[in-house]
Every structure is written in C-alpha cells, then in structure tokens.
Amino acid sequence: MTPNTPQRPLLAMDNLTVSFSTPRGTVDVVRGVSLALAPGKALALVGESGSGKTVTARTLAGLNAPNALVSADRLEVLGHNAARLSERQWRRLRGRQIGYVLQDALVSLDPLRTVGQEVDEALRAHGVHGRDERRKRVLAALRAAGITDPVVRAGQRSGELSGGLRQRALIAQATVLNPQLVIADESTTALDATVQAQILDLLEGLKEQGRGLIFISHDLAVVSRLADEIAVMQHGRIVESGRTAEVLGNPRHEYTQQLIDAVPSGRGRGTRLSALPPLAASARPARPSEFSPDAPALEASHLVKAYTAPDGTSRTVVDDVSFTLPAGKTLGIVGESGSGKSTTARIVLGLTEPDAGTVRLGGLPWAGNLQGVPVPEEMRRPHRRDIQLVNQDPLSSFDPRFSVERVITDALAAGGPGTPGERRDRSAELLGQVGLPLDLIHRQPLTLSGGQRQRVAIARALALEPRVLLLDEPVSALDVSIQAQVLDLLADLQEQLGLSYLFISHDLGVIHHVSDDVLVMKDGRVMESGSAASLFAFPATSYTRALLAAVPRMPARRPATDLHA
C-alpha cells in the first residue's frame, strides 16, 4: 500500500437499527445509527444510560441477545459483512480480531482463576498450541498492559489485585491476540485519577499501534483526551457527531450542551449543574440534639490504625490523621487506592476502633480512647443515628427482596418507636424530599435507574434525621447528567437541613465542586489539607500536583454567541 492509498475503514455502519422482541412487543433500542472508524483512530460513544451506546458496541462484536433484531443498510466490520456472520464466524473474530474490554473488572474476571489463566483462555480458544508459547505471550500481554512483575501477577487472582491492575488484566486479555479493533466499555470508571491516566496512556498506545478503538464513557473529560471523534447518543439515535474538539468546544445540539454543562470540573460551589429546580423547602421540624452548638460536626485527632498480616508483619494504614468538619459544611477526602480513605471512614462511622487517636461527633466522644479507655458502645449507641452512610453502590447495599418502601421503613424502625402507618407516611415524605415520585414506592430497587437508586439510598440515610452524612463515592458510576442531579440534590438538602458532609471521591472535579475544604491522603497519611479553592489553585505538595495533573481537562468552550455561528 502506497502512502497516498486511503486506508480501508475498520468499521462502516449505515442506518443500524437494533430492536428486541419482548412479550409486550418489539422495543427499538438503536435507531438509524451510522458510524465509521479508521485504523489508528478512537471513536467515543457518549450519552446517558439507555441511549443505546452499549447495544451499538455489542452489535459490532456479535454479542447481542438472542431476541435482538438487527438491520442495517451497511454493516461492515473488519471487511466482513457483519449482518451475515454466523455465531461460529463471530467466535473466530472475537478475541483474534475484535477485543472487548468490559467495565467491571472485579465481576468480569473469574475469582477462582488466576490472571494468567484468564488471559491464557483467549489463546487456547483460538488454537495457540504449546504451554510455553502461551505463557510467553501471556506475560508479554501483561507487560504490554503496563503490569510490572507479570510473573507474580499472572499467578494471582482478581481479588488480590487493585482496581487499576484488574483493569489492566482485562486489557491484556482483550489484546493478547493483537486484535485490529478494541471496544472499551467504561474501562476507566471508578479508577483513581493517576490510575485512570495510566489506563488512558495504555489505550492511546493501542491507537499508535494502528488499532481502532471504540470507547464508551459517561466521562466527557476522559473522552476529550482519548477520542478523535465523538458520537453523542440519545434515545437510540446519534444527535450530534464530529471531531472531539469541535463537538465539546462548539456543541450544536441542546442535549450535548446539557451534558457538557453538567460536568462539575471547575464549577464552584453554589453553581447548579442540572436543569432541575431546587427542592421545595422541608417543613419538618429539627430533632432535638445533645450536640454542642459551638462544636464541629466531626473532629478527628491523630488517628492511627495498623493491621497484622498473616506473616506477622504490621502495616499502618492510617497514620496520624486529623481533620475538622464544621457544622453545615463539606469536607472532601481524596487519594489513590490504598491511601487509607476507607479505613478512616470506618473509624469515623464507629465500625473500626483506632489504635490511637480520637473522634468526636458534635463535641461528644465517639471513637478512640476516652481518658485511656475506649469509648463504650453503650455511650455511642444513642448517637448512631446522627451519622449515616451513603454507599457507592446502593443496589448491593439493599435487600433485593425489599420494595423501596421496605428499604426506608426498615431504617425508620431502627430509629425508635412509631406505628407502621406512621413509617409508611414518613417513607413517602422522604421520597418527596429526595425528588422521587410516590409511584416508585412499591418498586424493587433492581427496577430503578442508577440515579433513582442513589436517591433512595439518600432517603434511607435521611430517615434517622442525621447531622452528618458520610458519602462514599456516591456519584462515581452515574451518567454525567444524573450525577449533576444528585449533586444538586445534596446541595439542596445541605442548605435545608444543615447537614454536614464527609465526601469521599476519586473524582477531583466532583470534590472541587462540592467541598468547602479538602483532605489529600497518601499511604495512610495526610499529605495536604485546606480550603478547596486554595488547594486546587495552589497545591502545596508534589503529590497533589501530580493528582491534579492526571485529571483530563475538557476543551475550552467557545462563547455562547459563537454556538450557532
């Protein structure tokens, strides 16, 4: 092929429609989608859950469900007429010519098999013979995916690896046969900023090798770094597409503009991210409190926690951590995996006793030693309702057999006396307080969207009328527009109820938006703390500067007057 000869596209799709037959009729999920991808390029599919991104991508790998009905004027994948491929022909393509990187590495990797066995399976499935040859290629794939000590890692199982290493293992599995097309579905979701940057470097390396990349993500800042072109999907259709800088810097469609406006990065506290109006003020009277009116909502002093490994060695995971959370304010905690955030949170919740140091809740002893004696549980129990947790994944924290009403009334029952009727009335009131319609009250959480489930989790936490909410990655897995709605909801609730938030997140843009003050942790220690405005503008430590440098940046937005020039 001469330099002037145009390269054959890896993907050419015209007017793709994907429907699913159900007992209630046919449901159209993808409508009239047209895409193209050249070697060495990355195409991003963005949009909210249900927009058709993943169904479109799975169609390109022949992975749709048996009840899927696929039609297109043209559907060529790697030179093949994909509309006519049999399942046997698809199996030959997948792995060898098409690699698929799934979102949740912990679920996608078999916990009973080693990482080496997982990667080796692709080689064996495609007829690569010879154990020594396969092992050599497995180690090479792990090394190419940026995994140091591949010999050691190949013998470990997924539960022994960090989130970043698990994601690298999935990429090694998808690329061990050097496929021409790689599909990455939310492959950087919930990763720390520095680990996310490393995965993006790895994916960019695939492009430099001449491979094509289909990248699905709800994180527009990540998309802006990696993608050459973007297709914005809504309700199964592409509403806008083009070169990345043009689409994000000069959006033409109202939906694209809404997605960009919902990104919290660089947007200060008090700025609404969603189009939803503020919640109506709550008229419920405040619960009497024993908290000192002049005391911080939460105060930790010189916390230390160490664990002993099976070999007898000791590892300090929280090392002299101190912070103060004033009443009605938000303290953001950031740091990479293993920085001590989760252990600090467990100490603050009274679930883990520190080896040294103290925690005071509203000025009252809460955890640690009180005059040389651990705070007894009977002293802590009356105030457990004053600090509540909102988990990262509400679905896994709900009993799947419970309705939304039961999820909330169970929390109300833990708070003390009250008739079943009063609890039902209060659960309906709480749903309204978090902006959910009453007709969801009898639904199971599995039937709700991610944003609705997170609102139910917030309602459950509010059931006991707490003073402090510990929010552990509460928006990390949400679409950007749903994330914006939840962040606006939290701001409204804080203003109305005077809540204090301890907000843990790997997303520095979210932390910047929600926090009054920020605590940066590394290897169990506080590296830096201060006001959010000061810390993000003038980071004092090289570690904080490295974290901020790893965060992808959205391209500059043109002035509104230029949008339709």
pLDDT at position 1: 45
| CA neighbor of 489 nearest in space, from 451, 437, 440 | 451
CA distance 123 to 142: 13
| Angle at alpha carbon of residue 165, lines to 160 and 476, rounded to 5° | 100
Q: Which long-range contacts (CB under 8 A, 24 or more apart) does 378-381 make?
A: 380/350
Residues with Cβ within 8 Å of residue 321, at least 6 apart in sequence: 300, 302, 303, 304, 340, 344, 357, 521, 524, 525, 526
Q: Are 252 and 240 in contact (CB under 8 A)?
A: yes
> Can you spell out the DSSP letters for 208-261?
HTT-EEEEE-S-HHHHHHH-SEEEEEETTEEEEEEEHHHHHHS--SHHHHHHHH
Residues with Cβ within 8 Å of residue 227, at least 6 apart in sequence: 42, 43, 44, 215, 244
Residue 447 has phi, psi (to 5 degrees) of -90, 0
Q: Are 74 and 13 in contact (CB under 8 A)?
A: yes
- Report helix, strand or coil for 6: coil
Other residues' Cβ atoms within 10 Å of the Cβ of residue 116: 22
Where does 298-549 sit in CATH, by number?
Answer: 3.40.50.300
Instruction: Collect the ranges in the chain with pLDDT lower than 50.
Output: 1-2, 5, 561-565
Strand pairing category for 298-308 and 74-77: unpaired
**pLDDT tens sequence across 138-182:** 999 999 888 888 999 999 998 888 777 888 899 899 999 999 999
331: left (phi over 0), alpha (psi -120 to 50) or beta: beta
Cα separations in angstroms, 163 against 158, 194, 222, 406: 9, 12, 18, 33
pLDDT at position 396: 78
Cα separations in angstroms, 267 against 134, 272, 273, 509: 50, 9, 8, 8
| CA neighbor of 318 nearest in space, from 294, 299, 340, 296 | 340
Across the strands, what pairs with 468? 387, 500
Q: Are 388 and 397 in contact (CB under 8 A)?
A: no
CA distance 259 to 274: 9
Q: Are 431 and 443 in contact (CB under 8 A)?
A: no
**Structure tokens belonging to residue 389:** 């947790």
> Can you spell out the DSSP letters for 459-505?
HHHHTT--SEEEEESTTTTS-HHHHHHHHHHHHHHHHHH--EEEEE-
| CA neighbor of 58 nearest in space, from 197, 278, 243, 214 | 214
Longest dimension (CA), the chain: 81
**Structure tokens belonging to residue 26:** 């046919």
- Report helix, strand or coil for 207: helix
pLDDT at position 526: 97
Residue 307 has phi, psi (to 5 degrees) of -125, 150
Q: Are 281 and 265 in contact (CB under 8 A)?
A: no
Sheet of 364-370, strands arranged across: 314-325, 298-308, 356-361, 364-370, 373-374
**Structure tokens belonging to residue 85:** 């491929």
Q: Are 326 and 297 in contact (CB under 8 A)?
A: yes
- Report helix, strand or coil for 332: strand
Residue 218 C-beta-side C-alpha neighbours within 13 Å: 23
CA distance 91 to 19: 22
Strand pairing category for 298-308 and 314-325: antiparallel
pLDDT at position 356: 93
**Structure tokens belonging to residue 415:** 């708070």
Across the strands, what pairs with 76? 12, 81
**pLDDT tens sequence across 286-328:** 666 777 778 999 999 999 999 887 778 888 999 999 999 999 9
Strand pairing category for 330-334 and 500-504: parallel
Please report, for the chain, the start and end positions of each structural domain, with discontinuous segments joined by +.
298-549
